[in-house]
Structure formats: structure tokens, C-alpha cells
Amino acid sequence: MESANSTASTPETAATSNFIRTIVEEDLKNGKHKTVVTRFPPEPNGYLHIGHAKSICLNFGLARDFGGRCHLRFDDTNPAKEEVEYAEAIKDNVRWLGFDWGEHLHYASDYFEQLYQWAEQLIRQGDAYVEDLSAEEIRAYRGTLTEPGKESPCRSRTSEDNLALFRRMRAGEFADGAKVLRAKIDMASPNLNLRDPVMYRILHAPHPHAGDKWCIYPMYDFAHGQSDSIEGITHSICTLEFADHRPLYKWFLERLGIYQPHQYEFARLNLTYTVMSKRKLLQLVQDGDVSGWDDPRMPTLSGLRKRGYTPESVRNFCEQIGVGKSDSWIDMSILEEAVRNDLNVRAPRAMAVLRPLKVVIDNYPEGLTEEFEAANHPNDPAMGTRKVPFAREVYIERDDFLEEPPKGFFRLSPGREVRLRYAYIVKCESVVKDAAGNIVEVRCSYDPASRGGSAPDGRKIKGTIHWVSARHAVKAEVRLYDRLFTVPNPDKGGQDFKAFINQDSLRIVEDACLEPALAKAASGSSYQFERQGYFHVGSTSADGTPVFNRTATLRDSWGSGGKKE
RNA sequence: UGGGGCGUCGCCAAGCGGUAAGGCACCGGAUUUUGAUUCCGGCAUUCCCAGGUUCAAAUCCUGGCGCCCCAGCCA
């Protein structure tokens, strides 16, 4: 069987309009900008998740659609939390998603010297001062949401003194936390971000990218806007919680007299049945609730990838959910639907029995093996066919047999007929049970005239079920993944989100029975196990058999419309 | 109760003064050797509420109500 994912794919969802796209269009049309330059600015302090994908698709998508460019810039201003491993994983994820930053891989830390010079400029202009107050004192002086803050005694220092002190900060003469550099703006501003925000703090720590050159590091607010300015960003796009920072973003650029990009904010993605904050994801990793940042249950790009999500499906998802400013909760089912849509057209079909129940066909010749031709994709003949061996004993799914079927059940049950896909129509003649009354085997007869599964006399066979020849079955491990949390919003109500972890989010089936063609499944490819779902081939286990990770179930309108196995 | 942001179908979301796109969900019906897919068809006389302006408002004005974010030397 050919390895999957080489042929057709779903068409890319056309970019729908959104307010940012509209702004870019207008800026280009009226000549405000000649080209569009955006950037995706992650902090390398964790893995990227599906929420970041929304931002990546927005920023890189804009650049792609309007013939501009998008930079990948690490916002690495806090060495205490950042690691090279994260930066590498981020680059890998962005590439996997299908985007290319070309020559434009940047680091805020590469601008540290320039930033430092700009800080000195602000000090000379009387726009910044060195603060001696402790962190606690600064907080106390800041005031509250409804009361103005108090000015620090250090606020009146001369430029000369400030400059000397700041240089001594850089020279490493002070301990961590002993001093900070602050912007001199307005301690009574209703916007707390303007109450003399901290620009630099002392941190005697090596930096993952800049090495040990620095012991003072700029804050986000003093680095981000200037980085945008240096890179000639035209549209600086960030999430809503930074809207309050926009006046500060502008203030620094104005005082510095440098090119001023404009900042636009959009609503971050919230997805049901998962958590999206890096802090919480890190906690799951550290507490061992998942196997790592790339656990297939994680909403991280690495996790989704391991789960079997395709870049196309993630991009389509991001396009579908749109970009707005209202707090939105996207249902997990929309993400799941996005992979199904993509995998439906590209994944070859195969048969696999997860919970085997033996069926013996009494009137079928004992030693005989027949081979049936099965389509690799029922709607795409170009994907070819494969041979599936059939013999007297086959396994079917336990769920496909019910001794006392409810109304509307049209699989196998005593006295009833069902079609074994591509093989024969069989009829259940009897049931064999063990001493405890458990069904251990089903006895059937087959209709030799139904070779291939057709009903020559035109009789209607409602049910068609999948099967695997017992003698030819290949054993494999199958991992059934489900949602990580049991409630739509694990963060709600201030309770510990971990109380809502789904204890059943991973079930490992050790002895699934696969049709023989699956033994050669290539790692990284995806298949649809007919009637069950999409499965992604993970790393091969020690004994050479593949491990299959369930990406998503198939939709199932039988029963409560819920999920099956 | 200071500042910022948001309220259009169950969930997202277009719309920007001319009489409510689209997706997902849902409900019918057709095809089907996957209860899958595909395919047709249905699904907001109404845009948080109340007033007002206008020939005409989801779109403009006024006043309410509700939700989210901000008091890190995090980003």
C-alpha cells in the first residue's frame, strides 16, 4: 500500500475579510504603505500552541496575500524564562505550518545595544530616571485602579546622575533588584501602564541568545515597539490585552523620534476542552499529566502534529474561525472537523479491528484463502486498490455484534445478515459463550453467491462491517486519544483546572488486529480505519509493528450522535 | 467604582445608511458495500436594551445593561 498523504488535499479556505485585512488593504490602496511588513514575535519560553497558529496565519497570511514579508522575531528580553530549546521548537513549528521568514529571523536581544543607547537618550532628555525604590515600594507608589499613584523621590534626579547610575547598572555594580530604570511619564494616569513604567531591570543571568554580555535587560514595553521600528514593521499585530500598552508603545517611539509602526489588537483564541496558557501547559508537562509538550493531547502545534493533524487542516481552521475583537470560544469540534475534512480526501482507507470478536464461518472451506480487491479510497479511484485476504475465521468489532439488538441496530445479531465489506454476506447462526456467559465466538454461514459483497438477488443488506482475517491479522498498538478535559472551560469558576482532567483521554489498545497491508504503513502517514476514524502512524515499536495514534473519530450519527470507541 | 475593549442565529463571523454573506452545529431528503463522504433543501422580519435622527439604521446620536482586560523589576 502506498504511503499516505501524497495525493489530493482539501482546497485552502479562501481568506475571509477581517478588520485587520481591511486596514492593510486601505493602507496599501491610499499609499500610506508601499508594502506590508508584519512579524510573529513569540517569547521562547514554551511551545507554540493553536492560539499562536492563529497569529502566525494572520501575520504570515497578510504578508503572503499582499506580497509583503513577515519576520520571525524572538521577543527574548527575559533570560530567566527563556531557552534555546524553545526557540528551536518554535522555528520548527512555524516551518511545519508552512510559513517561511526568509532572511528575516530576528531577536530582540540583537537590538540590546541600540536599545541601551536609546535608554540613555531618554535619560538625557529627562524622560527616564533610575529608581532606588524596591519592587514592593514601587507597587505601593503605583496607586490603584481608582486612585492616582505617588511620585518617587528619585523622580527628580538630574540627567547627569541618572546617566551615571544607569551606566553603573550596566557595569554590574548593583545587585538584582537594587535599581531599575523607569520612564518619567505620569503617575496619575488612568492608564496604569503610563505610571512611570519600568524600562530596565537588573538580572545577573546569562542570556540564551546574547550570552553573558548583559546584566540589565529591557522590559517588553521598552523593546517591542523599537524592535518593530528597527525592522520597518508596517502593521504590528498583537492580542487584545496589549491594547492598554499602545499609548506606551507610541510614547517611546515619539520621544525617541524614530519610525512609528501602528499597533493593532485582535482577540486571542479560546478553545473548549483544553487550556491555552503556556503556564498551565507547562504545569501539565512538569506534573507528568501528559508525556511532554508534544503529547498528542496537547493543543500545542507539536502535539497536534504528533496526533496526525496536517498543516493544511490547522491553516484551514485558523481561516475558518476568523479574526475579530470580541472574546470568543471556539468549539473543539471545529478543530476536529478541520482535520476530518483534510484527511477525508487524502487518507487511504484500511480495515482494522480494535476490539476483536471471532467469527467462524461454518460453511466456508477450512483451508481456503481468498483475496478480495479493496478500494484505497471509495471516492478516488486514482488512489488504487489493494488485496485483502479472507478465510474461514475472521475478527469483527465487538461493538458490531449484539445478541439483543435495539431497534435500528443494523449490524450483526442472531439470525440476521450483515455484509463483511468487500467479502461476503454472512448470517449469524449461533453464539458461543464461556462459562461466565461472555460471548467468545459467533458462528455464521456465508452466501457464496455474494462474493465481493454484492447481493445478486437484490436483497437489501443494511449493515456493512469491517473485518480482518484471523490467520492474516497483524497485531499493533493503537492509541485512542480523547479530549484532555471533561468540561468546556477548565478555567472557569476559579477552581484548579487540573480537577477537570479527563482520566480517559488516552486508552491504549495493545492487540488491535490490522489487515496485512497495514504492516508496511510508513511512519508519519495517515489512514482512515473504515468506520472508526483517522489514525496516524507514529514510531514503530520494538518488535517492528507500527503504533497508530487516533487523530479523530469519524462522525457517527448512530446512537446519541456522540463519539464511539 | 479609573482606563481600555467587546456585544449580529446554539458557536464563530461578514456587514461600515439602502432593507441580514459564509463556516460549524442542527433539521429534513437523495445517493452510498464506511450508520463516513458527497449531494440537494431548511435554518436571524432581525442585529444587548430603550429612546432619537432619517424616505430608509445592525450600521448615525443619546442613555442604559452585560461581558472581558489592566495595579509583574512577565510577555
Angstrom distance (rounded) from CA A12 to CA A174: 55
Dig out the grid coordinates for A259 from the structure.
519610525
Over 50: is that where the pLDDT of A1 sits?
no
> Can you give the distance from the CA of residue A245 to the C1' of nucleotide B53 in angstroms?
37
Q: Which residues contact A25 (CB under 8 A, 6 or more apart)?
A: A66
pLDDT for residue A13: 63
Under CATH, domain A352-466 is a member of which superfamily?
Ribosomal Protein L25; Chain P (2.40.240.10)
Over 90: is that where the pLDDT of A495 sits?
no
Nucleotide nearest to A466 (CA to C1'): B34
pLDDT for residue A492: 75
pLDDT for residue A7: 37
Each residue's pLDDT tens digit, A87-96: 999 999 999 9
Over 60: is that where the pLDDT of A6 sits?
no
pLDDT for residue A563: 32
3-state secondary structure A434-453: CCCCCEEEEEEEECHHHHHH
pLDDT band at A539, cuts 50/70/90? Answer: confident
State whether ipTM is beyond 0.90.
yes
> Can you give the distance from the CA of residue A148 to the C1' of nucleotide B63 in angstroms?
29
CA A168 to chain centre: 45
Would you give the DSSP letter of residue A526? E
Start-end ranges of CATH 2.40.240.10 in chain A?
Answer: 352-466
What letter represents residue A461's amino acid? I
A249 with A263: CB under 8 angstroms? yes
Question: Rounded mean pLDDT of chain A?
Answer: 94
Task: Give the three-state DSSP class for A90.
Answer: helix
pLDDT band at A427, cuts 50/70/90? Answer: very high
Alpha helices (H) in A111-245, listed in sequence order: 112-124, 135-141, 159-170, 220-230
pLDDT for residue A180: 98
Task: Give the three-state DSSP class for A36.
Answer: coil
Nucleotide nearest to A559 (CA to C1'): B35
Each residue's pLDDT tens digit, A196-243: 999 999 999 999 999 999 999 999 999 999 999 999 999 999 999 999
- A394 phi, psi to nearest 5 deg: -130, 160
**CATH code of the region A113-218:** 3.90.800.10
> Can you give the distance from the CA of residue A335 to the C1' of nucleotide B14 in angstroms?
21
> Can you give the distance from the CA of residue A326 to the C1' of nucleotide B18 in angstroms?
27
> Can you give the distance from the CA of residue A515 to the C1' of nucleotide B29 in angstroms?
36
Each residue's pLDDT tens digit, A428-456: 999 999 999 999 999 999 999 999 999 88
Dig out the grid coordinates for A465 from the structure.
462491517
Q: Is the pTM of this model over 0.90?
A: yes
Angstrom distance (rounded) from CA A534 to CA A531: 9
pLDDT for residue A562: 32
Over 70: is that where the pLDDT of A486 sits?
yes
Each residue's pLDDT tens digit, A242-278: 999 999 999 999 999 999 999 999 999 999 999 999 9
Which residue is closest, via its CA, to the C1' of B38? Answer: A379
A269 with A276: CB under 8 angstroms? yes
Burial A327-342 (b: 16+ CB within 10 A, else e): eeebebeebbbbbbbb
Strand B bases near protein CB (under 7 Å) are 1-8, 10-16, 21-27, 32-38, 67-75
Start-end ranges of CATH 3.40.50.620 in chain A?
Answer: 4-111+222-339
H-run or E-run covering A329:
strand A328-330
Start-end ranges of CATH 3.90.800.10 in chain A?
Answer: 113-218
Each residue's pLDDT tens digit, A370-395: 999 999 999 999 999 999 999 999 99
Over 50: is that where the pLDDT of A565 sits?
no
pLDDT for residue A12: 62
Each residue's pLDDT tens digit, A15-35: 678 999 999 998 998 899 999
Please name every residue paired with A386 in a beta bridge, in sequence order, or none if there are none. A374
Mean pLDDT throughout A391-405? 96
Domain A4-111+222-339 CATH class label: alpha beta
Dig out the grid coordinates for A441 from the structure.
465466538
Quickly tell me which residue has 491553516 as its cell: A315
> Can you give the distance from the CA of residue A330 to the C1' of nucleotide B13 in angstroms?
11
Which residue is closest, via its CA, to the C1' of B24? Answer: A334
Angstrom distance (rounded) from CA A130 to CA A554: 62
pLDDT band at A494, cuts 50/70/90? Answer: low
Residue A136, number of CB atoms within 10 A of its CB: 8
Q: Which positions of A are catalytic?
A: 43, 268, 278
Which residue is closest, via its CA, to the C1' of B12? Answer: A321
Over 70: is that where the pLDDT of A348 sits?
yes
Share of chain A above pLDDT 90, in %: 89
Which residue is closest, via its CA, to the C1' of B10? Answer: A331
pLDDT for residue A536: 97
Each residue's pLDDT tens digit, A311-320: 999 999 999 9
Residue by residue, DSSP assigns A47-61 as: --BHHHHHHHHHHHH
Nucleotide nearest to A349 (CA to C1'): B34
Over 70: is that where the pLDDT of A127 sits?
yes
